[in-house]
Structures are given as structure tokens and as C-alpha cells.
Structure 1
């Protein structure tokens, strides 16, 4: 006579003949096997492993036989399982962040739950939790963004370099590799860096490059230049200009015989590659050559 395990295995494979099917139905735990198999099907993965399913069924049956008959456990466990699933779904949906990313040469504008707007520059990320906004008024930023805060609203902008506290204002935050800058255009913001908060009034800037504080003149613009598809620099290390150029044009730039720490003052457009290249090379008497998406800059 065919062994019990073989009958179950052939049953799972839908490979029983009439005689074997009758033998399978005569098994003492036939009803439990059918119920277990039905439950497993509800959670079946895209690729169903018959051997693994058999092992699961057998282990559950063996465990069932080894336990005393406590009929109240099954209903209790079912309720507990349902509650666990419901709680998990609730927790997942309420803690899920809204994340917006931009790629190279892309910009976008986002509205926060309090009606504040955020303009996101190229190759940046903004994340916040819409469901927990009233309790946890925070946004996470990687890259650069301009915030136009709704009247009466306040929240924190969390970056890897520091935290910007909003008191109802317009301001720009730029956090890149070894570069952290906050410019206040309207109202008041607080910048916390190394556990020390600095308050910024309109026109004030907070700038850290390579861990060093850099003093800047008052900002005269009403909004950052990148909103108008132009990047502007005043006495900035050339390497920061090159990094921004690469983000706006999806190119790789190699410097040959050029000091990347020398200071650059000027601007470049985001709309015309050749014009932009001339803007960042002519002031420094630098020549360039292009091969597909690779640009080589050479010093004289």
C-alpha cells in the first residue's frame, strides 16, 4: 500500500488515480490536509514550490498531533492573526512617506500638507509623511530646494549636514557633498549645525564648504537664480560649479591642469549646453572638448 507521505505528495501535484484518491480521502487527517492546503493557496507566491508546501503541511500536522486538544486555541489564533495583519497594514499605510525625486536636468514643484510649496532642483530628493504631518512636521531633503512657506506654518527641514527650522518664510536649502548652504529670502529661519542654531533674516546666508564656514555678502535676489534656469556663483570653488553643471546637463566633466579649488564668479544657463560651457570656461581661459556625454576641460 502506498505510504501516507507519497499520497499527500501526489495529491499536491494533482497526480492521484481513482484508487489512490480514495486512499487519500480515507486518511484520518484528510479534512485538516484540505483546509491547510486551501489556506496555503491564499498566500501562494508567483512560483509555487510543491516540496516546500509538502514540508509545511507535514510539519503543521505533526505539530497538531503532538498538542493536546484545546479547541479554543484555533479561533483565538485566527482572530490574533487577523488583528496582526490589520495592524501591520495600518502601520504601513500611516508611516509611509511621500517621496519625490528629480533626475539630472529635471526640476519640479511640490505642495506640502500645509499648502507650503517646495521647488526641487535637479538630482534632489524630498520626503515627508502626509498622515503624521500635524504631529511630526518634518521634511527630509537631499540636494537643493526652495521653500515658500504658507503663512503661519512651521516645520523642520532635515538634511545630512544640518536642520533648518521654519518660522514662516521663503528660503533656499542646498545640501550636496561637503556643501551646505541656506539663504533666507523672506521672514526668518533657524539653521542648526553642530548643535548650534543660527538665525537668518532676509538676505542672510549660512554656508559651509568642506567643513569650513564661508562668509557671504547679503543676497539681493528675491528668489534663487536656478528657478529661472540659471546657476549663479560668486567666489565659489570651481569644483562646485562643475558639480552643478553636471547635474543640470547630464554630462561627466574631467579637469586637466586646472585647480578645482580656485574661486569662480559667474553664471551659466540650463537651456543651452554650448553657451553654458563658454560661460564657465572663458573667464578662466580654459579650453574644452566634447565626446558624447564626456567633456574635458584643459587649463592653459
Structure 2
């Protein structure tokens, strides 16, 4: 039996045991199954090959013989369905998420890499990557971009554009930060547009814009610690919760008081002391809840 006929009967769920065996021996059997699985949640209108054939046939002028038309239309229907499957899969985005206290490294289609910090999400499209290098980010990520066409990082606060460079982006609630470590980074924030050279950082906290310097060659969180420079305590504690999967009760403190320093990601007691001692804060632990108190 011809390949197209086997595929058509498979699509119609009409293979007998002998035909099923022949179908499984096709070179692209695994690919066809993969395509079928990806469409399990894809709802398409009911389609009847025989109905569509009769519909087309009724509009044709009678001829001496058109027995060849029916199989041709059925093959066309198979090709149409195959094209629909291909088109649907080509428009799918790849989404990668990290959990609390988790960070991972992702390789993009052009050999660029993304280090994704805890509780962060990136979305990109593999199939359109050659034409448009674009990543959507919610959270924090460090990008090492291979040279090539323009590379865009889209966040809810602004867009970052580069050609080939290394930079870190943080986009959290009311907190937006871009740090350039190598190359040149263009940042578009609302109506403001600027370029960052290595060692420069653009920060927006609660709507307040700051320009800072960075002496490190990569973000501190890649070395299992998080650093801050005059950051409101509430954002420091938010990051502590992300890295340790804990809950911090700081209701008795001023969340706007500023903190400069760092905390480790692999020792909770040491991390708490690194934050509380410089600010004169005490704390108690109850299961996974940390209660902070002013002295």
C-alpha cells in the first residue's frame, strides 16, 4: 500500500492489523506520532473527506469519467491536514520556568545561553529564531548572546536590545534592572532610551530611576549569592524568600529602609545574619516562617 494511503487511513483510524504494522515501519513513523500527540489539545473543526469531495463534485460539470478525481482529492486532504499540523507546531512558543530556590541554564537555537534565576520565566520561538532573535522575560536572567542579528529581551517594563554581549535583567513587581557586563546594551524604558557600556547599571525601583556602577564580571547570583546596593529591604526579603522557599514576616519593620550587602544561597542562618545584623534587626524562626523584629 502507498505511503499516502497508509497515512490517510491512519488519520481516519481505519488501519487493520496488517496495515498498522506497515504504517509503523514507515521512516517517519515516530515524527507522525509526535505531531499527533502535540495536537491532542488542538481543537479543529470536524472534517469529512467524503463530504468535502461530494461538495466539490456537485459544483463540477459532468464529464465522461472523473474516477481519478476522488483519490486525488483525498491525497490533497491528507496534504492539507499535514500542512495544518506543521503550521500549528511552527507557531508554538517554548516556555521555560524555574521554581523557588531553582536556577537553570538554557541554550538558545543560536548557541546563546540564558541563566534563569529562581521564580523566573522566559518564552521564545525556535522556528522563527533565524529571522527574529527575541525572548520574553518575567523575573531575572543573565544573557550571554552570540554575535549575529539584533537580540531583543522583552519585559513588561521595557525592551533590551543587543547584538552580541553579556548582560543581566531583573523584572519584578515595581523593580526593573539592567546591568551590562560586556559589549553594548540598549535599554528602552517607557519614553526613555539609553545605552549601557560594561560596568553600568540602569535601575528603576518604585518608579525612581538610578544609574549605578558594577565592578563584577558577572552577576553575583551565578556564584550562589545575591548582592544589593542601597535597595529597599522589602525587595531584599522578597529575594530571600525566592532563594530559600520560606516566608518572611517583616510587618513590624520599615520595608523602605535601605540595605547594601549580600547574602548566600546555601546557608539560611548565615543569610539571615548578613541581612539583619547590619540593620540592627533580630529574628525568630518557626518552621518555614521567619519573623523579623527591630531591636
TM over 0.5: yes
1:100 corresponds to: 96
Structure label with greater radius of gyration: 1
1:166-189 CA deviation, whole Å, 9 max, x = no partner? 121111001011111000011101
Tell me, in whole angstroms, the C-alpha distance in 2 between the residues paired with 1:230 and 1:179: 19
1:144-198 CA deviation, whole Å, 9 max, x = no partner? 1111122345310111111000121111001011111000011101001114321
Residues matched between the structures, number: 243
Q: Is the 8 A contact 1:114 1:153 kept in 2?
A: no
Q: Is the 8 A contact 2:135 2:154 kept in 1?
A: yes
1:211 corresponds to: 207
2:250 corresponds to: 255
Q: Is the 8 A contact 2:228 2:260 kept in 1?
A: yes
Q: Is the 8 A contact 2:141 2:170 kept in 1?
A: yes
Q: Is the 8 A contact 1:162 1:192 kept in 2?
A: yes
Larger deviation: 249-258 or 71-80?
71-80
1:24 corresponds to: none
Q: What TM-score does the superposition give when structure 2 sets the normalisation length?
A: 0.74
1:297 to 283, 292, 295: 292
How big is the shift at 1:116?
Answer: 1.2
1:155 to 151, 155, 158: 151
Instruction: Structure 1 unaligned segments of length 5 or more: list them.
Output: 1-37, 43-55
- Over aligned residues, Cα RMSD in angstroms? 2.8
Tell me, in whole angstroms, the C-alpha distance in 2 between the residues paired with 1:156 and 1:182: 13
Instruction: Structure 2 unaligned segments of length 5 or more: list them.
Output: 1-10, 16-45, 61-68
How big is the shift at 1:71?
Answer: 8.9
2:134 corresponds to: 138
Q: Does 1:70 align with 2:65?
A: no
Secondary structure in structure 2 of the residue aligned to 1:256: coil
2:18 corresponds to: none
Secondary structure in structure 2 of the residue aligned to 1:221: coil
1:240 to 213, 228, 235: 235
Q: What TM-score does the superposition give when structure 1 sets the normalisation length?
A: 0.73
1:203-255 CA deviation, whole Å, 9 max, x = no partner? 11111112221232x11111010000000111001011001001000011111
